[in-house]
Structure 1
Amino acid sequence: MECLAYDSGRCRSCTLIETPYPRQVASKQDALERLLSAALGDAASAIAWREPVVGPESGFRTKAKMVVAGTIEEPTVGILDAAGHGVDLRDCPLYDPALTAAFPILATFVTVAALRPYSVPERRGELKHIILTASPAGELMARFVLRSTEALARIRKHLAWLQEQLPALVVVTVNVLPEHRAVVEGDVEIVLTERDELHMDLGSVDLRLRPQSFFQTNTDVARALYAQVAQWVGESLPVSVWDLYCGVGGFALHCLADGRTVTGIESSEQAVLSARGTAAQMAGRGVPGAADAHFVVADAPAWAETHAAPDVVIVNPPRRGLGAALAGWLESSGVGRVVYSSCNAVTLARDLAAMPSLVPVRGRLLDMFPHTEHFEAVVLLKRH
C-alpha cells in the first residue's frame, strides 16, 4: 500500500506497511498459534484453523477518531506528534472514501464555526476530536468532542451549511469531555440532528448505531466475523444463547432462530438501546426469533453469576479479556459451547488456559487491522 504520510515520516502507525500483505497475515497466524500453544500445551494442537479472513488493504476503515489541533484558520485533522502538536492525516489511505471526502469539509467547518482546536501542550482550546463513522450505504455520523458547550450555539448556527456541503451527513452530535486526559470522548452527548443513529446494513441484519455505541472499524471483516460466529452457534441447535459484552447486538442478532431465546448483556446503555431498536425493527418484519431477543444493561460477569447457564455463550470482551471471575464462571457453569471473539490474543490465551474443561476445537484469524500487529481471532470451545 502506498502512503505519503508514512513515506514522508508524518505517521508511522502502520508498522507493517513495508511487509507484503500475505506475509503480514501469515505472521499474525503464526503469532496467534504460538501464543495459544504456549498457554494450552497439547490442547492447542486440537484446534482446526480455518483460512484467515482478509479484506481490502486500503480504504477499509469506516470509523475515524481524528485529533484536531492547529488553529481556527488552519486546523490539522489527524494525530499528534510526540510534542503534542497536530499532524494532518486527511490523506491517510486506510479510510473509506466517504470519510476521506468528508475530512476537508469538516476541517473547513472548524473555521466557519470558529471552533478553537484544543492544544495539549498549552491545555487551552475547545475542539479535541472529530469522530466520523460511515455506514455501508455511505451515510455519515460526525461527533464533535469539545471541552464544554461554549461553541454549541455556533455549531447549531452553521449546521445547515455543513449538511449542505456534506449531504451524506445524517447524524451530528456534540460530545463533552472537559478533562485533560488521554481518552477520546466524554459521557455527555448532545444530538443536533433529527436522526440519532446510523444504519449499518450488513445484509441479514441492519444494525442501529447510536453515537456512543461500539462497532468494528472494518465493516467487511466484521460481516465475516458475525457470519462465522452464527454458523458455529447454530450447529448445535441451541435453545438459549447469551451474548456477553454484546455491544450493539451484532453477534446476538445474527444468531436468531425460531424457538431460540437470545440474550445480550452490555454495560453501555446507548449500545443496548441500539440493539433493542434493531431487534424491534426485525421483529416488525417478522424475522424468526427476533421477538425472543432481549438486551440488558448490566455488568457481564455479575449478571452471569446470578442466572442459569444457557446452551451457548458468546463472549466478545474488551482488550483486557474476560478476567478471572467470568472465566471461572464459564469453567464451572456447565455451558456446552462457548464462542470467544478476541481483539487481544494475549488475554485470549490467558483466559483459555483458565478454562481447561472448555477445549478449543476450531479457530479463525480475521485481519481487521491490516499493516499493524493487531488482529481479531475467534475460537469455538466445547466442553470436554
Structure 2
Amino acid sequence: MPTPYDLQLAQRQSAAEKILADIPHASTMQWLPPAASSPSHYRTKAKFAIGGTAKHPTLGITGPAPTYAGVDLPHCLAHTDAIARCIEPLKEFIRSTGIEPYNIAKRSGELKQILVTQGSGEALMIRFVMRSKRELAKLRSRLPLLQSLIPALQVATVNILPIHAALVEGDEEIVITEQTTLPMLVGDVELHLGPRSFSQTNTGVASALYRQVTLWARESGASSLWDLYCGVGGFALHAALGGVERVSGVEISPEAIASAQRTAADAGVSDRVAFVAGDAAQWAFNQGIDATPEAIVVNPPRRGIGGAFAEWINDSHARYVIYSSCNPKSLARDLKRMPNYAPLQARLFDMFPHTEHMECAVLLEKLP
C-alpha cells in the first residue's frame, strides 16, 4: 500500500500486457487507457470474521493458529465510509444480543462472520453467517434495534454455515427484513442484488467496465447478444438499453436471474432481454452453433470458460466476442484456444487497488 497509486496502476498495466502478449493476433490489439480506481475507500463489500466474546466482540480477520483469535480491523482504508461507520454499531448489536462469536479452536459459539454490501447511495445489506438456526428467533426479535443502530440498513439476512470449514457462507439464506434485495446503481442501471448474488467489490470501476462493454456492443452494430455468466444481468441490461434488439442472459443462480428479470421490468426492456437460469456453457451448447448471436459477452469465474467452451465459441458464427476476466492468465489461456478471433481492443479495470489482481476486458472480432 505504500507504493504510489500511479506506479501501482502502471505495474498492473504492464503485467496485463505481458500476459496477453502471446495470444493469437496480439499485434492487432490496441490497449485503451486503464480505468483507475480511487486509491482508498473503494471497496463496497466487506467480510468481517467475528472473534472475541459476546461482551467483547472483534470484527476483522482471523489470527494465526493455534488460537485463531479475532483481530479487529476498525480502520481499513479499503472500505467505504458507509461500511466503516457500521462496525461499532454491529459490535453494540452483538453485545446486546449476547450471541457468542464462533471460536475456531474450540469449535463452539454461533456467529461466524458478518458480510456487508453497500448499494445505491449508502444503502446496506448485512448478512449474519451463523453456525445454526439456534439464534434465529433472537435476531428476528432484535431487528428493530439493528435498524435503529444502522439506519442505512435495507436488507438483513441470516446465512447458515453448519460445518467447520474455511468458507464464506452456507447454502441456506433466511431474509429477516421485509425488503429482500439491495438496489445497486452500477453504470447506468440500478440492479437488484439478492443476498447470494455476485457483485463486484468496486462499484465505481465496475461502472466503467459496464459502460465500456456497452460502448463496444453499440459500436459493433450487433442486433443480437448473449450475456453468459450474467450474474444479476449488468451487461445484458446495459446492452438492451444501449440499443441491442435481442439479448439473452444466462446465469446458474435462479436468485440472480429473478433479480435480473425484476430490473428488466423496471427498466422497460423485458421485451428485448430474456434471462435464463442454467449453466452458461451447457446452455450455449444446447442452442447449437447455428443459433449463435452476432455478439457474445462472457464474464466467467477466475478459472475462465475452459477449453471445450472456448473451442465452441471459436467455431461459432458470432462476429464479436467480448471477454471480461478477473484473471488475465485464464483469459490468455482461453484466447489461445480461439485463433479464429482477433483482439481489437483491451482495457485494464483496476478493481483491486493495492493487490496484484487484475480485471481485463477484450473485444474480439471474427476473422474473415
TM-score range, shorter chain: over 0.9
Q: Separation in 2 of the partners of 1:31 and 1:301?
A: 29
Amino acid at match of 1:275: A
Q: Does 1:60 align with 2:42?
A: yes
Matches within 5 A, 1:133-144: 133-144=117-128
Asked if the contact 1:253–1:290 (Cα under 8 Å) also holds between the matched residues in 2, the reply is no
Asked if the contact 2:351–2:359 (Cα under 8 Å) also holds between the matched residues in 1, the reply is yes
Query: 210-219 or 107-116: which moved more?
Result: 107-116
2:363 equivalent in structure 1: 380
2:64 equivalent in structure 1: 82
Matches within 5 A, 1:133-282: 133-202=117-186, 204-256=188-240, 257=242, 260-282=245-267
2:308 equivalent in structure 1: 325
Q: Separation in 1 of the partners of 2:182 and 2:176?
A: 14
Amino acid at match of 1:292: R
Amino acid at match of 1:279: A
Provide, for residues 186-232 of structure 1, a one-character-per-residue CA deviation record: whole Å limited to 9, x for no partner.
11111111100111123631110111101111011011000000000
Asked if the contact 2:32–2:346 (Cα under 8 Å) also holds between the matched residues in 1, the reply is yes
Q: Separation in 1 of the partners of 2:338 and 2:107?
A: 46
Asked if the contact 2:225–2:244 (Cα under 8 Å) also holds between the matched residues in 1, the reply is no
| Aligned-partner SS, 2:220 | coil
Q: Separation in 2 of the partners of 1:218 and 1:147?
A: 29
TM-score by structure 1 length? 0.92
TM-score by structure 2 length? 0.96
| Aligned-partner SS, 1:201 | strand
Asked if the contact 2:299–2:323 (Cα under 8 Å) also holds between the matched residues in 1, the reply is yes
1:301 equivalent in structure 2: 281
Deviation at 1:253, TM superposition (A): 0.6
Q: Does 1:342 align with 2:342?
A: no
Deviation at 1:70, TM superposition (A): 1.3
1:96 equivalent in structure 2: 80
Please, which of 363, 374, 378 is the counterpart of residue 346 of structure 2?
363
Q: Separation in 2 of the partners of 1:259 and 1:48?
A: 24
Gaps of 5+ in 2: none
Amino acid at match of 2:21: S
Asked if the contact 2:187–2:210 (Cα under 8 Å) also holds between the matched residues in 1, the reply is no
* Alignment RMSD (CA, Å): 1.2
| Aligned-partner SS, 1:106 | helix
Amino acid at match of 1:188: E
Q: Does 1:310 align with 2:293?
A: yes
Asked if the contact 1:338–1:380 (Cα under 8 Å) also holds between the matched residues in 2, the reply is yes
Amino acid at match of 2:98: A
Q: Separation in 1 of the partners of 2:345 and 2:17?
A: 12
Amino acid at match of 1:200: M
Q: Separation in 2 of the partners of 1:379 and 1:31?
A: 15
Q: Separation in 2 of the partners of 1:74 and 1:373?
A: 35
Question: What is the aligned length?
Answer: 361
Please, which of 13, 21, 31 is the counterpart of residue 15 of structure 2?
31
Q: Separation in 2 of the partners of 1:32 and 1:107?
A: 41
2:271 equivalent in structure 1: 291
Deviation at 1:249, TM superposition (A): 0.5
